[in-house]
Amino acid sequence: MRRYGTPPETLLAPSAYGGAVALKLPGRGEFPPLDEHIVRPETREEMVRGERIYAQPALEPHADEHFRLDFALGGHVSLGYVGSTDLLTHVLHGSDFASDTCIRKEGEDPATGGRFLEEVAFEVVHEQPLKKVTERAEDWSRRGVRRVFGIFVKKGTVEEFLPSTKKWRALGPGGVISDPCLVRPLSVKALLDAATAKDEVARGLEAQDNPAILAMKAASEECGARREAAAAVLTVLASRGLATSPRVRAAVEGSTDLAQLHRWLARAATSASAEDAIDEA
């Protein structure tokens, strides 16, 4: 059963940070259910360590990066996992907030009867104070989220939170993020560059045996085979000193039938003329 915190109309005036007010919750020893919320879902309310926060709409650097993050990750989610945007999670008893994007196992957790906890969480950082972002990462890690990544827009870096040191470690721009949640290693650069993101998504879809990608790949390979066969027919005719008329050349280069081109190639080796090679009748 879901429960919600104090209605927003009873809160005090917003503080200097994000419209937050201090709201202390009683401590409890066990983790709360993921979906037993202390803020109102589908609103801008969040809570971090008892402090109620109103998530603000983003400026374009943050919003653009968030879109690129979702796009890049969407093509890399492994079979058996699902990606989510702004998924509200009751992380700890005093923390109920959402990551920008996360990946979790699909289906129902047999231990709780609810959804699985996210395994990997991503946060886009633009105007947020580092201290506040680090607090969120610490709480995610305490709850059991395996990995937390931050995309620091102003610095142009992708960094992973290290729970052992409570610090962020920058990933090299030429590096990759490898994880069981991902169908293939994801380039760090793809999270910062739109063109690289597109390339990585195409590779991710191919690694997932996406039917549309496989069909396009097969069509491309067949087209390449036809071009090679057509070139071989013309080469054999030329090597035998047979004149190739515009009609013959147009027929060979315009053929879309690979089997036909293979027949013409065999006939080109023995025909008396280029026309005889392609005039099968």
Q: Which of 155, 182, 207 is the last residue of a domain?
A: 207
pLDDT exceeds 70 at position 34: yes
- Please indicate, yes or no, if residue 39 is contained in any of the structural domains: no
Q: Which of 207, 228, 252 is the last residue of a domain?
A: 207
Q: Name the more confident of 165 and 27.
A: 165
Answer yes or no: do 118 and 251 share one domain: no
- Please indicate, yes or no, if residue 109 is contained in any of the structural domains: yes
Share of the chain above pLDDT 70, in %: 89
φ, ψ of residue 247 in degrees (nearest 5): -65, -45
- Please indicate, yes or no, if residue 52 is contained in any of the structural domains: no
- Please indicate, yes or no, if residue 200 is contained in any of the structural domains: yes
DSSP strands (E only) in the chain: 21-22, 45-48, 51-54, 81-85, 88-92, 95-98, 101-105, 120-125, 147-152, 157-162, 167-171, 176-177, 186-187
Domain of 125, CATH number, reads 3.90.1570.10
Give the structural domain span for 250.
211-278
The pTM of the full predicted model, rounded to 2 decimals, is 0.71
Q: What is the mean pLDDT of the chain?
A: 87
pLDDT exceeds 70 at position 79: yes
- Please indicate, yes or no, if residue 90 is contained in any of the structural domains: yes
Q: Name the more confident of 26 and 229.
A: 229
Task: Give 162-190 pLDDT, tens digit per residue.
Answer: 999 999 999 998 999 999 999 999 999 99
Answer yes or no: do 144 and 158 share one domain: yes
Number of domains in the chain: 2
What pLDDT band is residue 56 in, cutting at 50, 70 and 90? confident
What integer pLDDT is reported at residue 171 of this predicted model?
Answer: 97
- Please indicate, yes or no, if residue 13 is contained in any of the structural domains: no
Q: Which of 155, 172, 207 is the last residue of a domain?
A: 207
What integer pLDDT is reported at residue 9 of this predicted model?
Answer: 35
Answer yes or no: do 194 and 81 share one domain: yes
Answer yes or no: do 203 and 215 share one domain: no
Answer yes or no: do 85 and 132 share one domain: yes
Answer yes or no: do 245 and 173 share one domain: no
Answer yes or no: do 117 and 249 share one domain: no
- Report the C-alpha dihedral over residues 89, 95, 96, 101, rounded to 10 degrees: -50
Answer yes or no: do 105 and 240 share one domain: no
Answer yes or no: do 82 and 104 share one domain: yes
What integer pLDDT is reported at residue 69 of this predicted model?
Answer: 96
What integer pLDDT is reported at residue 209 of this predicted model?
Answer: 82
DSSP label at 213? H
Answer yes or no: do 199 and 243 share one domain: no
Share of the chain above pLDDT 90, in %: 71
Answer yes or no: do 107 and 192 share one domain: yes
Answer yes or no: do 125 and 261 share one domain: no
* Residue 139: exposure state from Cβ atoms within 10 A (0-12, 13-18, ≥19): buried
- Please indicate, yes or no, if residue 83 is contained in any of the structural domains: yes
